[in-house]
Amino acid sequence: MTLPAEVRRLAGADMDAAPSVADAWLRVGPDGLIAAVGPMSSFNASAQAGHEIVDARGGFVLPAFADSHTHIVYAGSRDGEFLDKIRGLSYEEIARRGGGILNSADRLHATSEDELFRQAMRRADMMTAKGTGAIEIKSGYGLNTADELKMLRVAARIREASPARVRITFLGAHAVGRAYAGRQADYVDMLISEMLPAVGAEGLAEYVDVFCDKGFFTVDETARILDAAARYGMRPKIHANELDCSGGVQVGVSRNAVSVDHLERMGADEIEVLRTSRTIPTMLPGASFFLGMPYAPARQAVDSGLPVALASDYNPGSSPSGDMRMVWALGCIKMKLTPMEALAAATVNGAAAMELSGELGAISPGRAASFIITLPVPSPAFIPYEYTSPWIQSVYLDGRKI
Ligand code: NIG
Ligand code: FE
């Protein structure tokens, strides 16, 4: 998938039509950027003297995945709730019984920053090994100022330690912290008067997120939080319409959100609002798969001319996997995107949902040499089709094999 430098996202019919070069070579510069791409007919072996040559041996070269929505900083797991879920409890019932996000907040509180880093770094390493070259990481299991800052500092350490690009999002409004049980309005006031200034002072987050949904935060609360965060330069990327037609899409678009994410419950109104905006609808098929929810209407969105992004939502409650290979497959099998549409959604559009698409997300000169060399497969479509077969030969991020 090659794209000119100025193409930062693919929308509608363009998602299936990204150009590619058959039987190609590419040169990586010493700066870790792609220096040139061309067909083998134009390859001049003698001009490559002094370069290490890597033979892709019949494989395809695909852009590394850009996973624009994750919650990988968490402590332990929620495998106990997995059994409740198997026995028939819904996500909301588990949350109401004190499980869910608050369960993860308790565990996080009891875990040291170093141990949290060790656990989250293991997840980031698994993701890069499976071809992910950019990761957005949210807070939201702290739910008090000290623990939110602890999470964000861990995310910043991952940014230093991982070969992937990392973007960080403050999600203090993920649930109401235990100390504020029954006092949601006070929690929102505290978030605005205490958490946001603290996060802003340390410059710990590029984005702000709110779980704007039934049983979580209202549209009015969301608007207040987004407006307050804007004063610290944090742009919105919000959780919207997972559990209900929450008004989250509208409030996100009204605040010029970079993305609105989830969208399992979305109607014609939401699509219309998105069409008038630059906000990227981001869909998380791993959460639908794991929770047995409807899949977001990706086909309808693309047919309406929108630029859809796909992300993993890697988190302990609704999507305990950061494997973008699976997300690609689910995009095709369950959301009826073509293999090229789903790949564009998981690469260039995911990068756009992190404002990184000038830097990566496509194979083109000037962008990072962050790509996956596949094993020999009949076509790129074969990959999400034979969806559990190994297909990665090697992963390069910023020109370096990982
Ligand atoms: O994106 N929906 C809200 N937040 C996460 C789940 C968090 C959790 O259950 O721990 C999500 O699905
Ligand atoms: Fe999420």
240 in contact with ligand 1, CB cutoff 6 A: no
pLDDT in tens, 263-291: 999 999 999 999 999 999 999 999 999 99
pLDDT of residue 6: 86
For ligand 1, atom 5: residue with the closest CA: 318
Spacing, Cα 244 to ligand 1 middle (Å) = 14
Specify the higher pLDDT residue, 241 or 57. Answer: 241
The pLDDT of 249-273, averaged and rounded, is 96
For ligand 1, atom 1: residue with the closest CA: 313
Give the residue from 359, 361, 352 showing the smallest Cα distance to 258. Answer: 352
104 in contact with ligand 1, CB cutoff 6 A: yes
Candidate from 91, 92, 101 with most ligand 1 atoms within 8 A of CB, to mutate: 101
Spacing, Cα 70 to ligand 2 middle (Å) = 6
Quick one: pLDDT band at residue 92, thresholds 50, 70, 90?
confident
Beta bridge mates, 208: 170, 236
246 in contact with ligand 1, CB cutoff 6 A: no
Spacing, Cα 69 to ligand 2 middle (Å) = 6
The Cα 390–Cα 331 span in angstroms is: 18
Q: In ligand 1, which atom is closest to the CA atom of 78?
A: 10
Q: In ligand 1, which atom is closest to the CA atom of 315?
A: 10
316 in contact with ligand 1, CB cutoff 6 A: yes
The pLDDT of 29-49, averaged and rounded, is 89
pLDDT in tens, 345-371: 999 999 999 999 999 999 999 999 999
pLDDT over 70 for what percent of the chain? Answer: 100
103 in contact with ligand 1, CB cutoff 6 A: no
The pLDDT of 177-205, averaged and rounded, is 97
Give the residue from 303, 292, 237, 236 showing the smallest Cα distance to 264. Answer: 292
Provide the sign of the torsion angle of the four alpha carbons 128, 130, 131, 135, taken in this order: negative
The Cα 258–Cα 350 span in angstroms is: 11
Of the ranges 48-52, 83-87, 171-175, the best mean pLDDT one: 171-175
Spacing, Cα 318 to ligand 1 middle (Å) = 6
Q: Would the pLDDT of 95 be above 90? A: no
pLDDT of residue 49: 76
Q: Check: CB of residue 288 under 8 Å from CB of residue 264.
A: yes
Q: Check: CB of residue 170 under 8 Å from CB of residue 225.
A: no
The pLDDT of 5-34, averaged and rounded, is 94
Quick one: pLDDT band at residue 71, thresholds 50, 70, 90?
very high
The Cα 27–Cα 40 span in angstroms is: 12
Quick one: pLDDT band at residue 9, thresholds 50, 70, 90?
very high
Q: Would the pLDDT of 174 be above 90? A: yes
pLDDT of residue 271: 97
Q: Would the pLDDT of 70 be above 80? A: yes
Residue by residue, DSSP assigns 260-279 as EEE-SS--HHHHHHHHTSSP
Candidate from 67, 70, 71, 171 with most ligand 1 atoms within 8 A of CB, to mutate: 71
pLDDT of residue 327: 98
pLDDT in tens, 317-341: 999 999 999 999 999 999 999 999 9
Q: What is the pTM of this model?
A: 0.97
The pLDDT of 23-35, averaged and rounded, is 95
